[in-house]
Structure 1
Amino acid sequence: MSLPLLPDRACGACVECCRAIPLNLPELAKPTGELCAYCVEATGCSVHAVRPQTCRIWFCLWRVVELSDDWRPDRSGVIVRPDGIEDGVITLYVLRRSDFLASIDLFATVAGWIAEGVEVALSVPGPVGTYPARAVVTDWLRPAVEEGDPADFLDRLMRSLDRLDRHDFQPDGVVARYAVV
């Protein structure tokens, strides 16, 4: 899926998708959670001009939706995934727990999505080479949202992440292969 990008918004030093997203293409395969061998930390793709089509069209929603710069994945620790957006689901892929999770910006944005009828899912990475855990948490977060209670929202969010962290992570089966030319 290719979504229209916001003008003047670039990945910059963020390379979180180059680590988090698994690829299993003829010219490039990398397990979930492994930084792509073509990626230079805090710089970006070293084969940018010839990168696979999948890498050319996949962008996190920070590049697509009006979200503050605090939402940039390398700053927030959260990738807002586009998967499911066409079905009315936004997935917050929490790479690491950060102060951003307690921010009013996160609370207000998620509350707005829920009020608009958007389903919200949380996802967390497992060990390298395993699929992430994911759960739709809209109904669980809704009471805190409806009460306008950021503290209860954060508590519910953290309890959800704790539960996802205990998931039985399954191997993604991807064996690293780098052959982009």
Structure 2
Amino acid sequence: MSLPLLPERTCGGCVECCRVIPLDLPELAKPTGELCGYCVDGAGCSVHAIRPQTCRVWFCLWRAVELSDDWRPDRSGVIVRPDGVENGVITLYVLRRSDFLTGMDFFVTVAGWIAEGIEVALSVPGPVGTYPARAIVTDWLRPAIEDGDPEDFLARVLASLDRLEQHDFQPDGITARYAVA
């Protein structure tokens, strides 16, 4: 599924997807969590004009959904992943714990999604070369949301992240290969 992008939104210096997304294509392979060899950190793709199709069509939901600029992944530490949206699931891939997670914008937005019947999953990265851990946490977060309690909500989010970080991360089996021409 491809969502239309918001015309005023650009990635700017954010390159988080170039780091976390695994690729295993004939012309480009990179393990999960490794910054692509063609990416200039903070600037973007050095082979942008000839980048693979996968890189051309993958965008985080910050590019497609009305979220504040604070949600941009390099600022928030959270990638709102598009995979699963067509099935009513939004995955919040927490790259790093940041003050953003403690903010009202995060609480209100996630509460709104859950109120609309959208399932919410949390995900965390593992070591480079391993798949992330992910769990749907809607029912776990719902009591704090229904009580309008951002402190309990944050405690539940952090407890979920703690648990996910204890996951037995599985290797992705990808060996880096750079041959885009």
Question: TM-score by structure 1 length?
Answer: 0.99
Q: Which residue in 1 is equivalent to 2:122?
A: 122
4+ aligned runs moved over 3 Å, structure 1: none
Q: How does 1:96-135 map to 2 (within 5 A)?
A: 96-135=96-135
CA deviation after TM superposition for structure 1 residue 77, in Å: 0.2
Distance 2:132 2:75 in 1: 20
Q: Which residue of 1 aligns with 2:144?
A: 144
* Residue of structure 1 in register with 2:51 after alignment: 51
Give 2:74's aligned amino acid.
D
Deviation of residue 3 (structure 1)?
1.5
| Residue 64 of structure 2: aligned partner | 64
1:5 corresponding residue in structure 2: 5
Mapped partners of 1:78, 1:118: distance in 2? 18
- Residue 133 of structure 1 and its aligned partner are, at CA, apart by 0.2
Q: CA RMSD in A?
A: 0.4
Percent pairwise identity = 82
Match of 2:38 in 1: 38
In the TM superposition, what whole-angstrom CA distance separates every residue of 1:27-57 from its partner, at most 9, and x where no partner exists? 1000000000000000000000000000000
- Mind listing any 5+ residue stretches in structure 2 that lack a counterpart? none
Which position in structure 1 is the counterpart of 2:25? 25
Q: SS in structure 2 opposite 1:56?
A: helix
CA distance in 2, matches of 1:93, 1:14: 15
Which residue of 2 is the match for residue 166 of structure 1? 166
Q: Corresponding residue for 1:155?
A: 155
Report the Cα distance in structure 2 between the residues aligned to 1:168 and 1:113, rounded to whole angstroms. 29
CA distance in 2, matches of 1:99, 1:146: 23
Distance (whole Å) between structure 2 residues aligned to residue 103 and residue 31 of structure 1: 32
**Number of residue equivalences:** 181
CA distance in 2 between counterparts of 1:46 and 1:123 reads 29
1:83 maps to amino acid: D
Secondary structure in structure 1 of the residue aligned to 2:91: strand
Per the alignment, residue 76 of structure 2 pairs with: 76
Aligned to 2:131, what secondary structure does the other structure show? coil
Rounded Cα–Cα distance in structure 2 between residues aligned with 1:33 and 1:134: 15
Residue 24 of structure 1, CA deviation: 0.5
Give CA deviations for 1:103-139 in whole Å, capped at 9, x if unaligned: 1000000000000000000000000000000000000
With structure 2 as the length reference, what TM-score do the two structures score?
Answer: 0.99
Aligned-partner SS, 2:153: helix
Q: CA deviation at 1:2?
A: 2.1
Which letter maps to 1:74?
A: D
Unaligned runs of 5+ in 1: none
Structure 2: distance between partners of 1:146 and 1:95? 27
What is the CA–CA distance in structure 2 between the aligned matches of 1:176 and 1:24, rounded to whole Å?
Answer: 8
